Amino acid sequence: MKKIAVVTLVVLMAVFVHPGAIQALELMAVMLMMFTTSVTLGFTLSTFTSDIVQSFAFSGLISTLFTTLPPVYYPITYIPLPFRYLAYLSPTTYAGEIAQSTTGLLQVSAVSVALAWVVLAAVTIIFGVIAVTKARWREV
């Protein structure tokens, strides 16, 4: 089922955005980094919970912080300036900014895009290190 959704999104992007090879690689890199960030964060948090209900609470909170509040589905310019800085607390803001800039939906300076790449890579590495070093391993 998920494969159908991904294939549908790829086809729609190819039809409406017409990405070149470099754009497609950039978009795949952004998605891979966000996937890695999400998985490592979820894995780490799951090792700290002993109850499935707590896991559901973390899941709802994290999905809201990663997908709804940051400008993933809309440009960051839609957020009023005093509140825009709050959006930058989520790593998906940087991923969205890179993806929107890559596809031409948002005009962002090269410095902002480079900074977004650095922040996204740093967050991915930090969450990976936390997952490896701070996760609680248990014997079953």
Question: Does the model's pTM come out above 0.95?
Answer: no
Which structural domain range is residue 61 located in?
A: 19-134
pLDDT category, 25, cuts 50, 70, 90?
A: very high
User: What's the confidence (pLDDT) of residue 10?
Assistant: 78
Would you say residue 76 lies in a domain? Answer: yes
Residue 139 resides in a domain: no
Give 3: exposed, middle or buried? Use CB within 10 Å, 0-12, 13-18, 19+.
exposed
| Residue pLDDT, tens place only, 75-89 | 888 899 888 888 898
Asked if residue 138 has pLDDT above 80, the reply is: no
Residues contacting residue 120 through CB under 8 Å, at least 6 positions apart: 30, 33, 34, 37, 91, 94, 95, 98
- Domain for residue 120, yes or no? yes
pLDDT score, position 106: 87
Quote the tokens at residue 14.
Answer: 């190819």
